[in-house]
Structure formats: structure tokens, C-alpha cells
Amino acid sequence: MAVTEPGSEELAARLEADRQAGLLRFVTCGSVDDGKSTLIGCLLYEAGLLFEDQQRALESDSRRIGTQGERLDYALLLDGLAAEREQGITIDVAHRYFQTDRRKFIVADSPGHEQYTRNMVTGASNSDCAVLLLDARKGALTQTRRHAYIVSLLGVRHVAVAINKLDLVGYSESRFRELETECRDFADQVGLPGVTCIPVAAIHGDNVVVRSTRTPWYDGPTLLEYLETVEIDEDRLQAAPLRLPVQWVNRPDHSFRGFAGMVVSGTVAAGDRVVALPSRRESTVARVVAYEGDLDRAMTGQSVTVTLSDEIDISRGEVIADVASPPGVADQFEATLVWMAEEPLLRGRNYLMRVGTTTVGATVAPLKYRIDVHSLKRIAADKLELNEIGVGELELDRPIPFDSYSSNRDTGGFVLIDRITSQTVGAGMLNFELHRSHSVQWQAIDVDKASHVRLKGHRPCVLWMTGLSGAGKSTIANLVERKLYSLGCHTYLLDGDNVRHGLNKDLGFTDADRVENIRRIAEVAKLMVDAGLIVITSFISPFRSERRTARELLEDDEFIEVFVDAPLKVAEARDPKNLYAKARRGEIANFTGIDSPYEPPESPEVHIETTTTTAEIAAEQLMSELRRRNVLDPE
């Protein structure tokens, strides 16, 4: 198309405007049936942003399965999954895209039902702004308050409250003012700074795009005007010190070593002094490399590759930062947590924690309290159930660079991942570091593990017996220890019942206590291995996750998982301590195999089937495993 053709000047101008349009990401939330999908559908329709075929599909769907009689059912535009269309509810976050000449918008339309709160958190985590809906007849319900609270927790600074279905209260100003006051009070309580209330009837389009003639008493912005003008929190981050979490080390050949990642705050240019954390190596930026040629300066939000003037070794997970104001480095934090899995968050269980581009092990110990989102009261808790929010202390297995979440989402937000299922089970925000760890330092000791081992004449290890009560763990453990003792080995048998008389007598049998029980045993076993002993543990240890934690505390060769396998029927028939009978009668709660689960090992080092193996043969089997591993003969 030549420049002289009609319309081309207009086109170039439009392209230029499009090119310069900013981007606003916002989330819509509120209780079920408050009409979120309808509101967004209306926004797209009224603003003339639907394609013709979409509009036709909407009209025919409205007639066929719509719930609005003769009127268009805007919600059908957004409820995309078949299950949602059948049930008339929103299950998952739907992303919508539209633009006006001022801005491009990405809308995360999130579900209202309580069981999908985690999806709402997902939608809010990347949003600059939130549109919270409430039904003018009902006011703020529990779920509305929960969403307002989550929005505030996730650091969304701008919130519009669309007070919807105003047609059903006769466009009453007094009702609107009443709800406006209620919202402001609640916003103050949860710490939401900027709240704008807008009177809306999405089904008729009042004050969505076009100013309504039915609310002459309202002189604030329409919803679209609000979205087009609300400030974006970008300038604050641009002005902050540099943070560049390294995603990928780019080494195409020996002459080039670049560190690739996104600038998540500040800017970066050649000549800038930087420090990589947690390694604390300092250098100067040599180049900011890009496909279209080196950049003078890269800004917050750009994906870049930088080279440094010194040959220093930096790997994925480190943060390249402004040397003058680097982030903190710590391994203990207070954090706010949102739980997202059916299986509860357990104090003491070890999870994988992803923060920025790094992954570390993390344990919640202790959980301080959970928050009742309705009253905002703090309630003592030792676990968090699905969709619950709480505050706890996090212990990491190594230090990480961080900023508080309130100053930077990218270096202060994290997810927790279950080690066994690999699912993302929780999300959290780092509040501040705890200084406990700095006052308790590891004491260097002259007589180390190697010295202990030399004196003992054998290598230390842990024989970790796991299996149902009555499977035969203690019997086999006892035989093995006698055999080792007769060979002159230094051993110790940690037995479940015995430990619960002393070290762990404060613990019961809930899932949370079982996790803590095994954590302590694992730590004690580790100390004994340090002392050079062959340790035999005899605990049901029902959860894979804790057995894995125990394994990870020790060196690769030192942990021998022994699955003492007896079917529940067999173990129950043996019932040496009469416990199954009591559990069946309901006298003991949380009994493994009866009303508490046992997760069998997936790949134990030794698998003993006690229905076909005698205790003596099993003990010999373990002895030969120890010989095979050169435990008894270290040379």
C-alpha cells in the first residue's frame, strides 16, 4: 500500500497509537451470581469489541441456552468450558482481551465459588487492578470479603467496586451510598488504599461503558472510564534498584557467557556495578545483548541477556542486583500463605519452594495463625486447609536473595510444591526475614564424622524400617541389631513406642503430629550417623514426604529404606499389641491402615514381604545388604 493511498495516513497514525498504548491487566471477582461474566460480556458488547460471528453466536446461544429470556445472556461469552455452560457457573479463570484507543486490556475473569478460590488468587497475582462485584440487594457476602482480602494481600493497589443489579433496587441512591460506606469500611480494615464504587446494572449496561440516565445522582466514572485512566504501578518499579533473576546461562561457545532473565525492577546498562546473590560475586555489566543490537539500557519488564566484564560463575536462580542496594539474603522468614490443595498444609512438612528462578526446600515451622476472612480475626492453627489463609514462619534449606512482597512481587512471591505429586499446593508472600538463625551459628567441631568413623571400624548408616503396625518392623530390627552387636558394630535402635515415651511425648497421632514425630526422629538419626553409628529406626512413618525428608538429611549412601510389607489383613490378624482391635472399636483415632493412610514406598532399597519371609531370613537379607554396601568393611 503506497503512502498516498487514501486512509494510509490514518492507518499509520493508528498503528502508532496502538504501538504506544499501555497494557492494563485486571481481575474481576466477587461472589457467585453477582454477575461477573455478565459484566465483562456487557463491556465487550457495548464497547463494540465483539466480532460479528461472536455476536451471532451469542445471539443464537442466548436463545438456545440463555437464562435471560429475550435478552442477550452476556455470560455465555465467557463461560467457556462445557461443564460451566451446563451448570451456569464459572469454574476457571477465563482470559479476555480487548482494547480501546487508550489501553489494551487483559481481563482475568475469575470464579466466585469458594472451592475455586485458588483460581481467583491465580487471576489476581498478575493484575494491576481489580474489579470487585457485589449484588446491590445482598451487599458484601463472605466470598466478596474473601476476595477483597485476597486482592489486598496480593498487593493489588487499585480496586473498583461495581455495585451491580442496581435495577433490582430501583436505582436507589440511598442503597448505593449505604453499600459504598460498607465497602469503604471493609477496605480500610483489609488495607486496600484506593477504592472507587460505581453503580452498575450490567444486564442493561448502566454505567458500564455508557453513562446511565437512571443514576443522575452519580458523577463518578463509568467502569470503562475508570479502567482507561487508573494508574499502573509501573513507575515505582522502574525507579527501584535493579533486580534481574537469572533464568538461563547462555553459552553458545567459549567466547560468550551471557546471563538471561527478566528485569523485574530498576534498569540495567553497560557500566553498571552489580552483585550476584546469594554468591556475592561483584562485577560490572559489559553489554546488554539483544537480537536487534545491544541496548543502551533495559527497563523493568524486559527480557534481556547481560554479559559481565569479569569471568564469574553465576547460575540459574541467582539474582543480579544493584551493588548499592542489593536485596536481603536469608533463610528464615515470616510469610503469608494461601493454601491451594485438598491435602492440608502441615507444620514441619518439607515442600519445594519456588521464588523467582530458584527452587529450595522449605518447611513451615511453626504456623502462627490462620485468618478468618470474615471477621479478620487471627485464629491459632497448626495446619491450613484448602482455600485458607494464614501466617507462618518458613525455614529454607539454604539462603535466598529476596525483597518483601510489598516492594516487589517477583522477588517476594513464592509457590510451594509438593515433593511427591509435583503439584503447586500453596502460594505465599514473604513479609520479612527472621533473625533467629543468625544468633545460632553452626559450631565447628574438630572431631568430625570422618574421625568418628575411623574409630568405629565400620561406616555409619540408617536402616529405615517402614510399614504398618504389626508388620514385623520391631522384630526384624531387634534381630539385626543383635547380629551387628555380635560383630562388634556400634548401633542404636530407635523404636517408635520408646521414643514417644520421652523425646516425642508431647506429640499425638494427627497428621501434623506424625510429620513432626518423623522430623525429630530423622534429625536424631542424623546426629547418630554423625557420631558414626549404624542406626536402625522402627516407625510406621506412613508418609512418603517425610521419609524423603529423612533421606535428604543424609548422604546418598547412608539411607537404606526398608519396606516391611504385610497386607493390612495379615497385620491386623497378628495385632501383637491389640491396637487394631481398639482402633476398630473406635477407642484409638487416626490409626494407620484404619482411619489414617499409609503411603507405601515406591522404590525402597529393600522390600521384605513378611507373608513369605521369616524374621530371621529378613534380618539376614539386611545383613547382606549392609555387606554389599561395604558398611561393615569400610576398606
Q: 112 to 141, contacts with other proteins by CB under 8 A?
A: 118-119, 121-122, 125-126
Q: Which is nearer to other proteins, 203 or 338 (CB)?
A: 338
Q: At its nearest, how many Å lie between other proteins and the CB of residue 272?
A: 17
In the complex with other proteins, the residue whose CB is nearer, 305 or 469, is 305
Cell of 269: 546498562
Q: Does 168 bind other proteins (CB under 8 A)?
A: no
Q: How far apart are the C-alpha atoms of 215 and 106, rounded to whole Å?
A: 28
Question: Which of residues 359 and 510 has its CB atom nearest to other proteins in the complex?
Answer: 359
DSSP characters over 598-612: ----SS-SEEEETTT
Q: How far is the CB of 265 from other proteins (least distance, A)?
A: 13
Q: What is the DSSP string of 286-354?
A: EEEE-TTS--SEE-TT-EEEEEESS-----TT-EEEESSSPPEEEEEEEEEEEE-SSSPEETT-EEEEE
Using CB under 8 A, pick the residue from 168, 169, 299, 594 that binds other proteins.
Answer: 299
Cβ closest to other proteins, residue 9 vs residue 595: 9
Cα dihedral sign, 366-368-369-370: negative
Using CB under 8 A, pick the residue from 234, 385, 530, 625 that binds other proteins.
Answer: 234
Report the b/e string of 395-413 with b at 16+ CB within 10 A.
bbeebbbbbbbebbbbbbb
> Which residue's entry shows cell 487508573?
230
Query: Do the bridges between strand 22-30 and strand 103-109 make them parallel or antiparallel, or are there none, so unpaired?
Result: parallel
Q: Is 450 exposed, middle or buried (0-12, 13-18, 19+ CB in 10 A)?
A: exposed
Among 68, 170, 233, 248, binds other proteins (CB under 8 A): 248
Nearest distance from C-beta of residue 325 to other proteins, angstroms: 20
| Smallest distance from other proteins to CB 181, Å | 33
Question: In the bound complex, what is the minimum distance in angstroms from residue 115's beta carbon to other proteins?
Answer: 11
579/498 Cα distance (integer angstroms): 16
Residue with Cβ nearer other proteins (122 or 466)? 122
- Does position 231 bind other proteins by CB under 8 A? no
> Which H helix or E strand runs over 124?
helix 117-125
Binding to other proteins by residue 352, rule CB under 8 A? yes
Q: Give the nearest distance from C-beta 364 to other proteins in angstroms.
A: 18
**233 part of the interface to other proteins, by CB under 8 A:** no
Location of C-alpha cell 541496548: 295
CA–CA separation, 461 and 525 (whole Å): 9
The Cα 150–Cα 404 span in angstroms is 17
User: Among the candidate windows 45-53, 67-75, 466-474, 511-519, which touches other proteins by CB under 8 A?
Assistant: 45-53
Task: End-to-end CA distance of the chain: give it in Å, rounded.
Answer: 83
CB 330, CB 277: distance < 8 Å: no
- Sole binder of other proteins in the list 157, 211, 316, 500 (CB under 8 A): 316
Q: Which CB, 252 or 271, lies closer to other proteins?
A: 252
Give the one residue of 181, 423, 451, 624 binding other proteins; rule: CB under 8 A: 423
For helices 544-553 and 511-530, angle between their N-to-C axes, nearest 10 degrees: 20
The answer to whether 205 and 192 are in contact (CB under 8 A) is: no
* Residue 311 binds other proteins, judged by CB under 8 A: no
- Identify the bridge partners of residue 136 per DSSP, sorted by sequence position: none
- Site mask, other proteins, residues 424-463, x = CB under 8 A? x--x------------------------------------
Which CB sits closer to other proteins, 94 or 130?
94
51 counts as binding other proteins under rule CB under 8 A: yes
Considering the rule CB under 8 A, would residue 12 count as an interface residue with other proteins? Answer: yes
- Give the three cell numbers for residue 32: 457467585
- Locus of grid cell 440516565: 213
Q: Residue 132's beta-bridge partner residues?
A: 29, 161
**Is residue 189 a contact residue for other proteins (CB under 8 A)?**
no
Q: Which stretch binds other proteins (CB under 8 A): 165-173, 419-427, 525-533, 566-574?
A: 419-427
Considering the complex, state which of residue 53 and residue 446 has its C-beta at the smaller distance from other proteins: 53
Q: Which is nearer to other proteins, 363 or 408 (CB)?
A: 408
Beta carbon nearer to other proteins, 13 or 487: 13
Among 206, 331, 410, 546, binds other proteins (CB under 8 A): 410
Candidate residues 414, 539, 543, 580; the one interacting with other proteins per rule CB under 8 A? 414
Q: What is the 3-state secondary structure (H, E, C) of 448-513?
A: CHHHHHHHHCCCCEEEEEECCCCCCHHHHHHHHHHHHHHCCCCEEEEEHHHHHHCCCCCCCCCHHH
Rule CB under 8 A: say whether 238 interacts with other proteins: yes
With respect to other proteins, which residue has the nearer C-beta, 130 or 476? 130
Pairing relation of β-strands 258-262 and 248-250? Answer: antiparallel
Q: Segment contacting other proteins (CB under 8 A): 255-263, 380-388, 494-502, 533-541? A: 255-263
Provide, rounded to whole angstroms, the least separation between the CB of residue 223 and other proteins: 13
Mapped onto helix, strand or coil, the DSSP state of residue 220 is: coil
- Residues 332-351, one symbol each (x = binds other proteins by CB under 8 A, - = not), give --------x-----------
CB of 471 to other proteins, least distance (A): 27
Among the residue ranges 185-193, 324-332, 420-428, 501-509, the one whose residues contact other proteins (CB under 8 A): 420-428
Give the separation between CA 57 and CA 2, rounded to whole angstroms.
37
**Residue 362 beta carbon to other proteins: minimum distance, rounded to whole angstroms:** 14
474 versus 545: smaller Cβ distance to other proteins:
545
Rounded-to-integer distance, Cα 57 and Cα 281, Å: 59
Q: Which of residues 61-90 bind other proteins (CB under 8 A)?
A: 78-83, 85
The minimum distance between CB 38 and other proteins, in angstroms, equals 16
Q: Give min distance, CB of 244 to other proteins, in A.
A: 12
The verdict on 617 binding other proteins (CB under 8 A) reads no
Pairing of strands 413-417, 248-250: unpaired
Judged by CB under 8 A, the number of residues near other proteins is 96
DSSP designation for 514: H
Least distance to other proteins from the beta carbon of 136, Å? Answer: 27
Nearest to residue 273, comparing CAs of 308, 237, 246, 247?
308
Question: Could you tell me which stretch among 92-100, 211-219, 479-487, 513-521 binds other proteins (CB under 8 A)?
Answer: 92-100
Cis peptide bond prior to 278, omega within 30° of 0: yes
CA–CA gap between residue 424 and residue 227 (Å, rounded): 32
Cα gap 543→463, rounded to integer Å:
17
Cell numbers describing residue 88: 451456569
Catalytic positions are 541
Query: Which range binds other proteins by CB under 8 A, 229-237, 533-541, 590-598, 614-622?
Result: 229-237
**Residue 252 in the binding site for other proteins (CB under 8 A):** yes
- Exposed, middle or buried, 260 (CB in 10 Å: 0-12/13-18/19+)? middle
Q: C-alpha angle with apex 210: 206 to 215, nearest 5 degrees? A: 45
